[in-house]
Chains A and B, each alone.
Chain A
């Protein structure tokens, strides 16, 4: 859990960090479908899909946070991700990885 892992090393800020940024999310899916889709690669902790309150449509991008770095690697191993006919564009959020993989101080 966050309190144990990244948070300890990195303070309060870490919980705002996500693992993967997903763009070109088709309008038909909501965070529920996204979570379902990404669950095949590991345990999805959070999925943030911002909606435009002014139009009721989402903004076609979202952030995903997984429980472990391995899950993230699982996702990234796959060449292309297609959800409901749309090819998703994935981008790893780098900050977290670095902090997590920091070596214990010698």
Chain B
């Protein structure tokens, strides 16, 4: 900063001198650009000075304020100048000199310096080559350089409004500080040469080494070790600093990554403006913001991946935004800016048209255009080479009262220059000069073009020296401009000369530039020179997206051959199974390339081995693009080449004809496919041909008439299906018996046949057809034969019928079975028993007897005896004695007794009983005993029993839990070998491994690790992994933990590396780092850092080091690490650490994290502060939150809404006034600093203390009601509503409306108002309030809507419900309203109006479609059932029950029947519940519903019984851990200490491992009531376990 001229104003030209300049006759461009006559350059008008003054104007932090859209990169234009040359030559020398680099103490390669200075901060390349490709931001090829990056965009803002320049969201540039010395340099003073002034890059570089050395040195105890470290230090530097000969990112910023930033910037700019203009109420902004994010992400992704936007995507976003109405300013901007070079597949005029269409449409929808929009439109014009009149454009802006800015002028100059209109350009330059606007490289490069297009090549070439004289070094932009004009003239020699020159002086050439030159040559009609340029391009992977866009653009412009030759340049990059050039072919198809040409491309691609199947690919493109003729041609070509043609290739064609009702087309396709030798299958006919006709007969006749009746299996099957599905069984029979019918497997038409059977009552036909299937060999082609096939058919027939259908058809089925019997048809036993079960569940047990006729064998085993109710031990003992005495079998009772004893945890007794009745023991009893012994640590007995009953070679296996229990107890007792044997046995017996098993295994390993038993851990782990029992990172972790426990760091590190090598997982890294830092073990630290940088890149290693320093409180060192030049924000890693701090409640660490990342490049500051606020919220620390708020302002960040909301929440929750909602309407002066403020404070305080009524009284007495602010009224009204003081609230609202113009309640208060009104039964008023809210764009809260809906339903007010439904249609999703609610309510309303049938009729189809369509998910009927049940409307409940069961049996929709079951459970109708679950076992599978039912139950007191019932009914279907957690929770809520303890004991007895969350909660509860805690309380915070629980739930789902 020292070199910043302190007295800029003195150097400025006076207005007079400017005017003189402007009026001095006909100004030549150069006159405008060069120092004005009569003024010495040192003091005169100089661009550099101007720039310097720009700094002064913009203030600190806006040093890049010079370049605008299309402008050059800031450091080039401003900063790099003095140092650059020197650095360049220095670097060159250094390279030649090889190792001799005296000035480089840290060994950084010189090449890096080159790269550094080529880049603006925004252009910093990906920090590490190891960062996944998708995260990189490759530069793109647009026909015009797309320089719309964030860094480029920001200056425009900083120029206009310095306050936003630092733009926290986009990230403050880290190297800023480093640049500052040179950045403020102004014109290059002669003295600034030499090693001390080598420029920003070198400064930074030196600093980097210094920093790292310092960091490491801090860790080192002796200087001797420092030397050992030094050679590796540079490795810790991030990659941007490492040498790369051809840095791909020397290009200007691609549109990709920067779009995000830019758009963020736009968001920011928008908000910034908002604070000046009218700030909309925050609620209204929620929706557009959401949509904007959606659109933004789509576009961002597309651009990131491909460098372009598909037109369809753009149109879709456009439609979405249009549909949503009232487009936001930044949405419009997003759309507009996408209409240029980002659409290479669309021709330029079309793009401009699109832009205009969007412009007009958005305007119509109320978009307000500001300068940024006009600038974006200009850019689109330029990119599309659209001809327009700049003066008119300016006039239009003026008309709209929008001020042009520097960017506008620059682009207008470019527009003039495109037309070769130098005079026009000069005019604008004059404007700029008058306004003291800086002239950047962009202007110069436009002028190059302008002169050339005006035919004055000499002046064009001369611009470069003019630039230099003005202190602007020509950069990529300028050279590109020059090269392009040569290309336009076809001047290959000059191109060559320029390229060589650039290469010589600049030492680099950008492939992107060369590609643009190729495009210019193509466009200008000089394809012959292209090859030479192409030779210079290195076609590497990084270039693919750019090259793709070049190819597309070339095709769009009709240069497909050139495009193809570019494409082929990538053939050397082909990878296995990766087709190249699909994009090319697709675009060719879309541009209607002649078939011949396409064919040529296809065969060449194939020959070059670039594409494995080009013809099928273009066939798909043709079909997709609805180009039938081409599709047909391609199919013919495919046939000629011997490629397979398949029936479904014709489907897209048929679909199209079907849609257009074009029968002729259908026939033609059929003929064509026949010609091509494709035999169409049944699906083709069924789904795509017959659909065009009334029935199969008509179809057949029509096909015949039109000469496309091709007999075959497909046609026949389709006919059978068609006839069967329409219930014309007689026709089916005649087709099946016809001799002309070819052999067809009956499975092909089974489903249709079942449909047919169900819709027909003709038992005779049923039997006849079944007989044919059984006896005619044609219909049973595959093994295992007709018995199975018919058995299967019958099973499915009955399975597909609902219970009521079966009941209704009982008699017919009986006849059917009898007739089948007479035909000697038999089915396999297994099918028979399946049928019996179905019949039984349909409650037609009588039919079972008849079905038996069909079964092979008569003998059938009795079904499993249902489990008898559990008896207590003594009763069982007695029973056992009695049986024994009577000499009856005792096995069953013995087993029950053993189980009962196990449940009582009475090991002693259980073992005694076992010994006594040894001969009668069964396997199950032993298994329970083994488990019991394990629980009681009786390892000897457990193993004895196990060896005896379940020896290794026995086929009988224990269940997983018991094996695990054995392993655990063995390991605990040091019997490692035995434990390993058990594990091996588990594998051999293929015991199922679940997530819980893995968790148990990891627990065992961890336990061993905590004891520091290396051998045990290793062996067990090895066994588990080698056996393939489980594969989960948690299992590897103990391998490292064990060493950490033993404090053996080298071993821990080795384990870490081994883990990575073997399993590809890095585990416990942070812990290792922390420990090493704590110990100050620099050697190992270096080692682990080396390892991480090698495997994951330097950036990762730096972050790990940073986090370790933070964690261990070494903030100084942490700062040094994070300030490593070139390091950029990695949001994922930052988030990881921040979350860790939050869950561990480490405020200090988190604060340091936030503070230290302040200058980190691309760091999302808002996000960082959000983390901080999250922790504040957890701790209810509003004081800290307030400090954060101040910090945010200090750092000049525009926080996102999310952050503001959180902040406001924290304030409100802690009874504080929210500082930033203070309206701007009123100013201090109009405010009498009188009693009012005091009153206000009092009222606010009373509101906080829930004394709304008192607050109200004071308010009513207060005189100066004008003085109160907007949000004060909201607060008071909300408080009143919360206290159910509706009248008072309405009164306050009325007063507010009279005192504040345009007062409307905010959405929270309005929602409360609705709730209060509903409570008072003022439904009409509530409805009106809701309508008002929706009209003004506010979102009501969900409870408010729910309350209103339910109240209307209760009243049976169908009319208003319907109206409400329509009103809510659009916002259902946004407020998270369940679709089921409305459906339930309407059904309830029907019921209330005594129309039960209407209710069912309304609801049932919704539930059916809801199951298929997740968008309109009407699934649950629990509300309805609850209401019905509560009101004791038994017939209704029954009716809905029947419906639910019908849905379950017929449609496989289980949710309603589950709701019914749960309703029974809630209403203590255990018998009903039990019989229901018997009928409908699938209920038990609705785990989610059951889970959420329990969790809901556990939020209210008095619900323990409900969960107990559930546990009684379906114990094995509930996750015990979950069920008991909620049960415990219920008892805790009830304050029922005894029951809670009993439940805990029970879980212990049952060996159910409770989640730490349950234990934590139970412990807290017990402590609160002063009871001892019978277990170790989990150490972490509650929040921690909640998070853990939630994560696990998430993983599970």
Contacts and interface: CB of A to CB of B under 8 A. Distances in A.
A37 interface: no
A1 B830 contact: yes
A87 B792 CA distance: 35
Contact of A11 (B795, B994, B1481): B1481
A76 interface: no
Interface in A38-65: 51, 53-58
B954 interface: no
A1 B577 contact: no
Interface in B353-375: none
Given A13-B1485, A16-B1452, A106-B927, A28 B992 contact: no
B1271 interface: no
B579 interface: yes
A55 B648 contact: no
Nearest to A52: B655
Contact of A98 (B799, B831, B992, B1481): B992
Interface residues of A, number: 33
A92 B126 CA distance: 37
Contacts of B927: 106
A102 interface: yes
Contact of A3 (B647, B831, B1454): B831
Q: Which of B616, B651, B656, B687 has the most CB of A within 10 A?
A: B651
A78 interface: no
B992 A56 contact: no
Given A3-B795, A102-B992, A103-B992, A55 B652 contact: yes
Contacts of B655: 53-56
Contact of A56 (B579, B654, B1481, B1485): B654
Contacts of A54: 655
A56 B1452 contact: no
Given A11-B1481, A51-B651, A82 B623 contact: no
A51 to B, nearest CB: 7
A80 B831 CA distance: 37
A56 B791 contact: no
Contacts of B623: 56-57
B976 interface: no
A12 interface: yes
Nearest to B691: A53
Contacts of A53: 655, 687
Interface string A4-22: 1001100111001000000
A101 B959 CA distance: 11
A3 B835 CA distance: 9
B951 interface: no
Interface string A66-106: 00000000000000001011110000000000100111011
Query: How would you classify the secondary structure of chain A's contact residues: helix, strand, loop or mixed?
Result: loop
A11 B1485 CA distance: 11
Interface in B1412-1454: 1449, 1452, 1454
Interface string B809-844: 000000000000000000000110110010000000
A106 B959 contact: yes
A83 B837 CA distance: 41
B830 A4 contact: yes
Nearest to A84: B613
A28 B579 contact: no
Contacts of B687: 51, 53
Interface in B111-127: none
B1155 interface: no
Nearest to B922: A106
B648 A30 contact: yes
Contacts of A29: 646
Contacts of B928: 106
Interface in B1439-1495: 1449, 1452, 1454, 1481-1482, 1485
Contact of A87 (B577, B624, B834, B994): B577
B653 to A, nearest CB: 7
Interface string B1217-1261: 000000000000000000000000000000000000000000000
Contacts of B791: 3
B792 A1 contact: yes
A106 B834 contact: no
A34 B924 CA distance: 44
B788 interface: yes
Contacts of B613: 28, 84-85
Given A28-B646, A85-B613, A103-B959, A56 B653 contact: yes
B688 interface: yes
Nearest to A87: B577
Contacts of A4: 830-831, 834
A102 to B, nearest CB: 7
B647 A30 contact: yes
A13 to B, nearest CB: 5
B416 to A, nearest CB: 48
Contacts of B959: 103, 106
Nearest to B957: A103
B620 interface: yes
Contacts of A13: 1452, 1454, 1482, 1485
Contacts of A86: 577
B781 to A, nearest CB: 15
A85 B1452 contact: no
B1444 to A, nearest CB: 15
Contacts of A102: 992
Contacts of A85: 577, 579, 612-613
A35 B1368 CA distance: 47
Contacts of A28: 613, 616, 620, 644, 646, 649
Q: Which of A4, A12, A13 has the most CB of B within 10 A?
A: A12
B834 A56 contact: no
B808 interface: no
Interface string B986-1025: 0000111010000000000000000000000000000000
B923 interface: yes
Given A13-B1482, A56-B653, A8 B1452 contact: no
Contacts of A57: 620, 623-624, 651-652
A33 B648 CA distance: 12
Interface in B624-650: 624, 644, 646-649
A56 B652 contact: yes
A2 B1128 CA distance: 58
Interface in B560-602: 577, 579
A56 B923 contact: no
A29 to B, nearest CB: 8
A63 to B, nearest CB: 15
Contacts of A51: 648, 651, 683, 687
Nearest to A98: B992
B1482 A11 contact: yes
A29 B873 CA distance: 64
B1484 to A, nearest CB: 9
Given A30-B648, A51-B651, A56-B654, A3 B1482 contact: no
B1482 A12 contact: yes
Nearest to A106: B924
B785 to A, nearest CB: 12
Given A55-B655, A56-B654, A101 B577 contact: no
B1461 to A, nearest CB: 15
A58 B1454 CA distance: 28
Interface of B: 577, 579, 612-613, 616, 620, 623-624, 644, 646-649, 651-656, 681, 683, 687-688, 788, 791-792, 795, 799, 830-831, 833-834, 837, 923-924, 927-928, 957, 959, 990-992, 994, 1449, 1452, 1454, 1481-1482, 1485
Listed from nearest, the 9 A-B pairs whose CB atoms lie closest are A56-B651, A106-B924, A56-B652, A4-B830, A56-B655, A3-B834, A85-B612, A11-B1481, A101-B992
10 contacts: A3-B791, A13-B1482, A28-B620, A29-B646, A51-B651, A53-B687, A55-B652, A55-B655, A57-B652, A86-B577
Given A1-B788, A12-B1449, A51-B683, 4 more contacts: A4-B831, A53-B687, A57-B651, A84-B613
